[in-house]
Amino acid sequence: MSEPAGDVRQNPCGSKACRRLFGPVDSEQLSRDCDALMAGCIQEARERWNFDFVTETPLEDFYHSKRRLIFSKRKP
């Protein structure tokens, strides 16, 4: 059995099942929370990979500084 075209619901949130469970959303606070979470993720990735993902440049790390120290001590 097909439903008549006039009975099709246009708004899926018009039903009782679609509700805000925790009240209205504070978009400014949500934006601040997302920015803080993103900054923490970027810092964690920066420390883990020795790469600055914001400027897309590799960072100076322990191995590069050791390699420079070793090569600078070699005598030609």
pLDDT reported for residue 46: 92
Total domains, the chain: 1
DSSP3 helix / strand / coil % (the chain, rounded to 5)? 55, 5, 40
Question: Is the confidence at residue 58, as pLDDT, over 60?
Answer: yes
CA distances for 12 relative to 5, 27, 65, angstroms: 16, 22, 59
Q: Give the global pTM.
A: 0.52
Tens-digit pLDDT profile for residues 32-57: 999 999 999 999 999 998 889 999 98
- Of the CA atoms within 13 Å of residue 3, those in its CB half-sphere come to 5
pLDDT reported for residue 4: 54
What phi, psi does 66 have (nearest 5°)? -65, -40
Residue 21 lies in a domain: no
Residue 6 lies in a domain: no
Residue 22 lies in a domain: no
pLDDT tier, 23 (very low <50, low <70, confident <90, very high otherwise) = confident
| Domain residue limits at 39 | 27-76
What token pair was written down for 43? 């810092």
- Calculate Rg over the CA atoms of the chain: 27
